Amino acid sequence: MNGYTPGYLKLLKTGELNKRAERLMVILKDCTLCPRDCHLDRAAGKVGYCRSGYLPIISSYCAHHGEEPALSGRKGSGTIFFGNCNLSCVFCQNHQISQPACSLKEKEVGFERLADIMLELQTQGCHNINFVSPSHFAAQIIMAVDIAASKGLRIPLVYNTNGYDSLDTLRFLEGIIDIYLPDIKYSDDNAALEYSKVGDYVEHSRAAILEMKRQVGGLVIDSEGIAQRGIIVRHLVLPNDLAGSEESMRFIAEKVGRKTYLSLMSQYFPTHKAAEYPLISRPISSREYEKALEWLDSFGLEKGWVQEHSSRDYYRPDFGKKEPFEGD
């Protein structure tokens, strides 16, 4: 990593990492880790909207090669997929994990085991540790990071989130998380309520993205093309412009910054319960995706990656720019 030192190692030395972990665990007793604010004692095993109690749920983990190139690199992103979610997207492509038909309690792991998984992925040569759907397990994750760091974890941490995050929780993560990877799913709360069952997504996701940008700045990439620190914003184009792509890109350009790395995705397909909702019961059309690309250009967003329509493979790295942006 060209000499880059992840922020959590600095906090480990001062004892601040452990203090943050302990303070987050206190919040778990009256849970407000995400904007749902369930106020239930998850430390005692109570479950709220996310259906998750005290111990983290790990669906799977691997060296993942399907993330953005700056994350996957040659050796993969050390991806840990957490079970359950604080959203209920009717088109979720991972609904078996995020909205399981039955309890995932058998996949609960202790903090030591979660720490060991991080170290195992590092041993495999992964460029980073990538927490997928971490919002409802933020306390448990940081507790495990404290353990893993004390045992030799030294690669960057990626917070791969749906964007429905609490500002209070994110502020505990400052200096711990190196790379934020949030979604910006919607620009209209009516669509968010209809398709993800949350009526205040826009306010919370935009505030969260701005806080993430404040903490880590623009994306910093090393000489090998691997992300060290910063923010990448993901946006999935939906049929009938239900994602509000134009307004989402306007927000990114005007509030987050035109040099922000954006990952524009065309991979939507109607799965889970999408067939029950006529406006999202089909894949996106070529013209719908072309419009999203046009908005990308019109707002001067020149950094990041786009997917070829009807493909999960990334292409046009850095939107054709030869030199990677090295941060603000």
Provide the residue type at 259 as one letter. Answer: K
Report the greatest alpha carbon distance in the chain.
Answer: 54
Looking at residue 2, its pLDDT comes to 63
Q: Tokens 């790379």 identify what position?
A: 179
Query: Could you say which architecture CATH assigns to the domain 7-320?
Result: Alpha-Beta Barrel (3.20)
Q: Which residues contact 183 (CB under 8 A, 6 or more apart)?
A: 161, 162, 163, 205, 233, 234, 235, 236
| CA-angle at 88, arms to 134 and 314, nearest 5° | 65
- Answer yes or no: is pLDDT of 327 > 50: no
The mean pLDDT of 127-156, rounded to a whole number, is 98
pLDDT in tens, 35-60: 999 999 999 999 999 999 999 999 99
- Mean pLDDT score of the chain: 93
The DSSP symbol for 256 reads I
Residue 111's pLDDT is: 98
What is the identity of the amino acid at 328? D
Q: Percent of the chain having pLDDT more than 90?
A: 91
pLDDT of residue 246: 98
Name the DSSP letter for residue 303.
E
Compute the half-sphere exposure of residue 106: CA atoms within 13 Å on the CB side of its CA.
Answer: 3
CB of 245 closer than 8 Å to CB of 295: yes
Is the pLDDT at 324 greater than 50? The verdict is no
What confidence score (pLDDT) does residue 309 get? 84
231 pLDDT higher than 60: yes
> Residue 316: its pLDDT value, please?
40
Statement: residue 320 has pLDDT above 90: no
Contacts of 288 (CB under 8 A, 6+ apart): 237, 239, 240, 241
So where are the chain's domains?
A: 7-320
Q: Helix (H) and strand (E) counts for the chain? A: 11, 10
Overall average pLDDT of the 269-284 stretch: 97
Question: Residue 205's pLDDT band (boundaries 50, 70, 90)?
Answer: very high
Tell me the C-alpha distance between 307 and 286, whole Å: 12
Q: From 256, 142, 150, select the one nearest 207 (Cα to Cα).
A: 256
Q: For residue 213, name the pLDDT band (cuts at 50, 70, 90).
A: very high
Q: What is the pLDDT of residue 199?
A: 97
Asked if 18 and 145 touch (Cβ cutoff 8 Å), the reply is no
Q: What is the DSSP code (8-state) at residue 39? A: -
Q: Residue 100: is its pLDDT beyond 80?
A: yes
Residue 3 has what pLDDT?
Answer: 81
